[in-house]
Amino acid sequence: IPKWKIVPTKDVIDSAFKDPIKREVIRNNKLIYQDKPRLKTALEMLRTSISLEDGLNEVILPFFVLHGEADIVTDPEVSKALYEKASSKDKTIKLYPGMWHGLTSGEPDENIEIVFADITAWLDKRCNAVTFEQILRPSNQGFEKFDNVMVTMAATSGRTQSNGTYLCGLKRPRTQRRSAM
């Protein structure tokens, strides 16, 4: 039974890749698995998702989360929850209006350029300012956060306040759908 391909799924390619030409390139790529997931694989994906949701507050390393606001594969609330719950002192969130799930490969080229420019700028700012050793330092109990790392947040101006119901299960029961899968 664990190897049965019986888990119902939607065609994520149609929902993730906005550019129709790129969508077809992905669809015709024989290296990309496009069958239904096996039952055991789906179960492990669910367990991993739940584990990640439960540990969002344990994220302490710097991160930059990017999400398309028009994404129907993964709700943008999941990324917002990561940003809000993570303990990292250096975290940034950037939401892209009108963009879908495939920010770096499924959008029109001009959108992909915007996304990569933001990634590059985020990395450049940190490569010159702070070293990895400055962010974390050894302590008797593992690693502790270094106090002088800046907290940043992109795209906060004009952001609407969340209604407090997160798709990732932080405010809803775990039986709620987390993705289009």
Say if residues 69 and 97 touch (Cβ distance below 8 Å).
yes
Structural domain includes residue 160: no
> How many domains are contained in the chain?
1
Radius of gyration of the chain (CA): 18
Answer yes or no: is 59 within a domain: yes
Structural domain boundaries, residue 72: 12-145
The CATH number of residue 131's host domain is: 3.40.50.1820
Do residues 16 and 133 lie in contact, with contact meaning Cβ atoms separated by under 8 Å? no
Distance CA 123, CA 170 (A): 29
19-49 per-position pLDDT tens digit? 999 999 999 999 988 888 899 999 999 999 8
Do 40 and 7 contact (CB within 8 A), yes or no?
no
Report if residue 105 sits inside a domain. yes
**What is the DSSP annotation of 69-127?**
TT-SSB-HHHHHHHHHH---SSEEEEEETT--S-TTTTS-HHHHHHHHHHHHHHHHHHH
Question: Within a domain: residue 33?
Answer: yes
pLDDT of 170 reads: 40
Percent above pLDDT 90 for the chain: 56
Q: Is residue 163 part of a domain?
A: no
Note whether residue 170 is domain-resident.
no
Q: Does the model's pTM come out above 0.75?
A: no
Residue 87 lies in a domain: yes
User: pLDDT tens for residues 85-135?
Assistant: 999 999 999 999 999 999 999 999 999 999 999 999 999 998 875 555 655
Q: Which pairing describes strands 136-139 and 142-145: parallel, antiparallel, or unpaired? A: antiparallel
Percent of the chain with pLDDT over 70: 71
Tell me, yes or no, whether 3 lies in a domain.
no
Would you say 87 and 151 are in contact if contact means Cβ atoms under 8 Å apart?
no
Q: Using an 8 Å Cβ cutoff, are 18 and 108 in contact?
A: yes
